[in-house]
Amino acid sequence: MLRQRKLLRIISLFFLVLLTSCSMVKRQYGYVATVPAFSPKNYHDVLTQMGAPDSIAVLNDAFIFAYHSVTIDEPQLGLAIPSFDFFKFTLGSATATHNYHFYAFSLQGDTINLQQNHWQNTLGDSSSIGLIFVVEETVDLASFETKRAANVWGERLLLDINLIEISFEEIVLGKRLDLIGQDY
Amino acid sequence: MMKKNYQAISFILLSCFLSGCVNYSRDAGVENLWRQPQTFNNGTTTSQQVLAALGPPSQVLAVGKQTLYYYLKEQVTREGLILLIYNETTEISVFDRAMFIFNEQGILVDYSYSKLADKPE
């Protein structure tokens, strides 16, 4: 009886130590409002229903509004060695849930195409070794953490005209496909 | 015996509540003055009035014969709760946007602000 209790205590302590590193890392980039289904005749209808878009692209004879949000869930399971749990080994995987709305208009502003999509993709599995009390990221999300194009647009235009790939005139006059807004 | 059980339970509870908190936020982009009371009217407001009210836009784009001003403020907040048995961090990036479209004469044709979430998705 005494031996069983002792064994139970050891097992309980072992699982308590194992549980010390369970983590959930959540991220949300952007927000797409949930709106009732609608059939926009022109871009004014889309702006009224959806608000300002995340991204705007201009082509020769059309322009596009894109709305995009990404939610990332990264559950982690940490493993620590009993009685040496100062370091932990963490296994993690991340899943991204995308919500994407796409509206294309003629240069006169009439709707010529629209699409809405909702999908998930895995961002990979990985592992890390870290100190206890530290929530380590196990999946590389660097592409989500870069500066937004809109916030460095003016800075890029200040580059030497001979060094930049695209001239200011080409961008402003819409002579090329250019995407502005968020670029994740 | 009872005393030992209480001690064990107290130890486990104390371990569970030993915790830390993480919290930070950062901003990038222009000041979102469009969230303050502003009066913009389609057909009458000019691009100069928008510039005077909101300052220089983040980006400017030509859409056919129309001109588009795009304002962006990025707000990132991160909160974390670190317990012994469970850790959780949540990072939310909000892209607060305003968009104004002007005709060839610089008169406002349409404008819109991004919709804000009441709570995280």
**pLDDT, tens digit, for every residue of A90-113?**
777 888 899 999 999 998 899 999
pLDDT attached to residue A20: 53
Among A120, A125, A143, CA closest to A74: A125
Mean pLDDT check: name the lowest of A23-27, B9-13, B98-102.
B9-13
Cα–Cα distance for residue pair B42/A29, rounded to 1 Å: 31
Q: Return residues 36-55 of B near A (CB < 8 Å).
A: none
Residue B121 pLDDT class (50, 70, 90 cuts): very low
Q: Return residues 24-43 of A near B (CB < 8 Å).
A: 24-31, 33, 43
Global pTM?
0.71
Q: Is B62 on the interface with A (CB under 8 A)?
A: yes
**pLDDT, tens digit, for every residue of A154-173?**
666 655 555 555 555 555 55
Q: Identify the bridge partners of residue B25 per DSSP, sorted by sequence position.
A: B77
**pLDDT, tens digit, for every residue of A143-153?**
666 666 666 66
| Length of chain B measured in residues | 121
- Give yes or no for residue B21 having a pLDDT over 90: no
Helix (H) or strand (E) holding B11: helix B2-17
Put simply, the answer to whether B97 touches A52 (Cβ < 8 Å) is: yes
- Give yes or no for residue A65 having a pLDDT over 50: yes
* Dihedral over Cα of B43, B45, B51, B54: its sign: negative
B/e letters for B18-55, b = 16+ CB within 10 Å, e = fewer, are eeeeeeeeeebbbebebeeeeebeeeebebebbeeebe
Cα–Cα distance for residue pair A5/A16, rounded to 1 Å: 16
Identify whether the C-beta of residue A57 lies closer than 8 Å to the C-beta of residue A171. no
Put simply, the answer to whether A52 touches B113 (Cβ < 8 Å) is: yes
Put simply, the answer to whether B28 touches A151 (Cβ < 8 Å) is: yes
Q: Which of A25, A54, A153 sits opposite B95 (nearest CB)?
A: A54
Average pLDDT, stretch B108-113? 94
pLDDT attached to residue A16: 61
List the single best residue of A9, A14, A18, A28 to mutate versus B (max B Cβ within 10 A): A28
Put simply, the answer to whether B61 touches A58 (Cβ < 8 Å) is: yes
| Chain A CA closest to residue B117 | A31
Burial class (CB within 10 angstroms; exposed 0-12, middle 13-18, buried 19+) of A138: buried
Return mean pLDDT, chain B.
85
Helix (H) or strand (E) holding B119: none
Average pLDDT, stretch B80-87? 76
Contacts of A108 in chain B (CB under 8 A): 64
Domain boundaries, chain B: 19-113
Put simply, the answer to whether A52 touches B91 (Cβ < 8 Å) is: no
